[in-house]
Amino acid sequence: MSDRPILEPTAKHPITVEPTGRHVTVRVNGEIVADTDRALTLQESTYPAVQYIPLADVAKDKLRQSDTQTYCPFKGDAGYYHVVTETGAVIEDAIWTYQKPYPAVAPIAGHVAFYPDKAQVVVDPA
């Protein structure tokens, strides 16, 4: 049994997950590592919105599983990936994912998100 808290979104800490509805491209060191029309936008409280990209739309040959794990009381256990560029550069823990997210954010299962200081996430204008 875990002592970790499990929190539900509230009016004071809302979380929404909705289809982005626009094309999203992700580059790392100038290389495209994800390209999708199926992204989800997760908006949590007052934090910046995060694009969650289907793992199927990420260049899997550029991913290397990381041993890093973290926990979010609203979303669950997170795992991480490093991105390996064509030049061989390794951008550590550039991506996180919740493989079994809590029910309030269940749609992000099978999706990954990129740290904005390690990747350029571009959402096409409406």
- In this prediction, residue 14 carries a pLDDT of 98
Quick one: average pLDDT of 89-117? 97
Number of domains forming the structure of the chain = 1
What confidence tier does 3 reach under pLDDT thresholds 50, 70, 90?
confident
Torsion from C-alpha of 77, 72, 15, 113, nearest 10 degrees: -60
Domain that holds residue 88: 15-123
Look over the chain and give the mean of its residue pLDDT values, rounded to a whole number: 96
- In this prediction, residue 64 carries a pLDDT of 98
The answer to whether position 2 is within a domain reads: no
Phi, psi (degrees; rounded to nearest 5) at 107: -60, -20
- In this prediction, residue 59 carries a pLDDT of 98
**What pLDDT digit, counting tens, does each position of 64-102 carry?**
999 999 999 999 999 999 999 999 999 999 999 999 999
The answer to whether position 71 is within a domain reads: yes
SS3 helix, strand, coil % of the chain, rounded to 5?
10, 50, 40
How many angstroms separate the CA atoms of 81 and 62, rounded?
A: 9
The answer to whether position 34 is within a domain reads: yes
CA 100 → CA 15, 29, 43, 50, 87, distances in Å?
17, 29, 19, 18, 33
Report the CATH number that the domain containing residue 52 is assigned in CATH.
2.170.150.40
Residue with tokens 């997950």: 17
Is pLDDT above 60 for 1? Answer: no
Is pLDDT above 90 for 2? Answer: no
- In this prediction, residue 120 carries a pLDDT of 98
Quick one: average pLDDT of 4-24? 96
pTM: 0.95
Q: Is the dihedral of CA 84, 87, 88, 91 positive or negative?
A: negative
The answer to whether position 10 is within a domain reads: no
